[in-house]
Amino acid sequence: MTIHRRAVLAGFAGVAATITLSGCGSRTATTTTTGESTAGSGSTGAASGNVAKIGFIAPLSGGLSAMGTGMRNSVDLAIKQANESGAIPGWTLELVAEDDQGQPDPGRNAATKLAGDSDIVGVVGPLNSSVGQAIQPVLDAATIALVSPANTNPTLTKGADLANPQRAYASYFRTCTTDAVQGPFAAQYLLDNGFTQVATVHDKKAYGQGLVEAFTTAFTEGGGTVVAAETINPDDKDYSAVITKVAASSPAALYYGGEYPNAGPLSQQMKASGLNVPLMGGDGLYDAAYIELAGSTSDGDLATSVGAPTDSLPSAQAFVDAYDAGGYAEGYSAYGMYAYDAANAIIEALKVSLADADAAEGAREATVEALNDVDFEGASGRVAFDEFGDSVSRVLTVYKVTGGEWVADTTQDFQGS
């Protein structure tokens, strides 16, 4: 694959203010096998009288479970390695994983359950930003650190008024970059590659709508024209009506806001109807399941996702090797590396907060405080947080379906907001 380092795009700060609550940020480019991991609960290692638990919240059932299980396994790996190395003398770490089904209400219930466990000292997750919004106040009220590897909506850290950012919750952090650049990144990519007339479709959910709004602003400001703007419903199966409307505008490409369960069939039906143009979307598409659903005509379709490709990062090789040796039934997913780093960020903080603690619950506030000072080289690169709790990394990649696989096409490092 070819990865091009390109210049920083301008004007993202203004575009960021147009984004509404996003829902996504976690897609797998490896296997989509679902089911329980063959590995253990992360408690492997020397026995200890003191136990501290790291919670995990993500979809472990349903259509998005492939991403959730890959993330869970990656957290499990980090905890096992910490126990085996004796990273926190006198303490054994355990993983407690909860299924949010990709929905806010089950996520809130999961957070409430974890908050009620006095041994929980931090939580990794969730996958969806809408779930993140639901569980932030629950965990914050219990002074439990929440580190998301996948939430990409900027309002979760900077508040609803992005033009005047204020940190929403002191206990919330994330190891991924945000949608504040994902829509503009896609817009600039299409413009740079000669696509000046594009149609948009979104699924009416916050994630998809937010991406389309950000994309549209950047695309039109860059000189492009949105020739059609349509929507679908998340439970739709037949997209013939919207395809007919879009086809009448003769777009050179279609930008889709949403996730792969709808995007894959939409692409397949587009091509079958004669609308043979690339479909592009955000990290909600970057999953092997998208290609399975879209079929052989998906070659040329595009998706943006956070970070650089795992196999392009020397820092990721140790993670990949350890994961492969771990016996997990599922792939680590596109966000497994970020879940691994999120767990290790909590573990680094626990080295400080548990040093003089008599009980796990008493270390919760100190864990939150210590996370602000975490700074280490993780699998995804440098892991550290800015004043809002956002990752200091601002990297995104465009992937293209080539020969039935996602192949990295362009990677950029952003320094804007």
State the DSSP H helix or E strand holding residue 87, giving kind and residue range, or none if neither. Answer: none
For the chain, give the percent of residues with pLDDT over 70. 88
**Among the listed residues 417, 20, 4, 395, the one whose alpha carbon sits nearest the alpha carbon of residue 215:** 20
Assess whether pLDDT exceeds 60 at residue 10: no
Assess whether pLDDT exceeds 90 at residue 121: yes
Q: Are residues 170 and 317 in the same domain?
A: yes
- Residue 97 burial by CB count (10 A; 0-12/13-18/19+): exposed, middle or buried? buried
Q: Are residues 219 and 158 in the same domain?
A: no
Q: Is 25 inside a domain boundary?
A: no
Q: Is 215 inside a domain boundary?
A: yes
CA 382 to chain centre: 17
Q: How confident is the model at residue 298 (pLDDT cuts 50, 70, 90)?
A: very high
Residue pair 125/1 in contact (Cβ under 8 Å)? The answer is no
CATH number of the domain that residue 283 is part of = 3.40.50.2300
Backbone dihedral region of 300: left (phi > 0), alpha (psi from -120 to 50 degrees) or beta? left
pTM over 0.85: no
The DSSP-derived string for 208-238 is HHHHHHHHHHHHHHTT-EEEEEEE--TT---
Question: Residue 299's domain spans which residues?
Answer: 5-19+179-306+395-413
Q: Is 275 inside a domain boundary?
A: yes
Q: Are residues 89 and 210 in the same domain?
A: no
Q: Which of 16-20, 270-274, 355-359 has the lowest mean pLDDT?
A: 16-20
Q: Region 81-93: what's the mean pLDDT?
A: 97
The size of the chain, in residues, is: 417
Position 395 scores a pLDDT of 86
The DSSP-derived string for 109-155 is HHHHHHHT-TTEEEEE--SSHHHHHHHHHHHHHTT-EEEESS---TH
Assess whether pLDDT exceeds 90 at residue 79: yes
Q: Are residues 187 and 284 in the same domain?
A: yes
Q: Is 293 inside a domain boundary?
A: yes
**Among the listed residues 78, 149, 97, 181, the one whose alpha carbon sits nearest the alpha carbon of residue 333:** 149
The DSSP-derived string for 252-313 is SEEEEES-HHHHHHHHHHHHHTT----EEE-TTT-SHHHHHHH-GGGTT-EEEEESS-GGG-
Q: Is 359 inside a domain boundary?
A: yes
Rounded Cα gap, residues 75 and 68, in angstroms: 11
Rounded Cα gap, residues 227 and 262, in angstroms: 21
Position 379 scores a pLDDT of 94
Position 414 scores a pLDDT of 65
Assess whether pLDDT exceeds 70 at residue 371: yes
Position 292 scores a pLDDT of 95
> Which residue has tokens 């008024």?
161
Q: How confident is the model at residue 415 (pLDDT cuts 50, 70, 90)?
A: low
Q: Are residues 315 and 260 in the same domain?
A: no
Q: Are residues 282 and 216 in the same domain?
A: yes
> Which residue has tokens 């939409």?
266
Q: Hey, what are 78's tokens?
A: 């980090």
Q: What is the largest CA-CA distance in the chain?
A: 69
Q: Is 408 inside a domain boundary?
A: yes
Q: How confident is the model at residue 314 (pLDDT cuts 50, 70, 90)?
A: confident
Rounded Cα gap, residues 289 and 387, in angstroms: 36
Q: Are residues 168 and 316 in the same domain?
A: yes
Assess whether pLDDT exceeds 60 at residue 305: yes
Q: Are residues 378 and 295 in the same domain?
A: no
How confident is the model over 242-256, as pLDDT tens digits? Answer: 999 999 999 999 999
Q: Is 24 inside a domain boundary?
A: no
Q: Are residues 164 and 194 in the same domain?
A: no
How far is the CA of 224 from the CAs of 13, 216, 248, 250, 317, in angstroms? 19, 9, 18, 14, 40
Q: Region 204-229: what's the mean pLDDT?
A: 92
Rounded Cα gap, residues 46 and 287, in angstroms: 37
Q: Are residues 197 and 163 in the same domain?
A: no
Q: Are residues 72 and 131 in the same domain?
A: yes
Query: 237-242: long-range contacts (C-beta < 8 A, 24 or more apart)?
Result: 237/265, 238/269, 239/265, 239/266, 239/269, 239/270, 240/269, 240/273, 242/201
Q: Are residues 205 and 86 in the same domain?
A: no
Q: Is 34 inside a domain boundary?
A: no
Position 6 scores a pLDDT of 34
Position 164 scores a pLDDT of 96
Q: How many structural domains compose the chain? A: 2
Range among 105-119, 205-219, 300-314, 389-403 with highest mean pLDDT value: 105-119
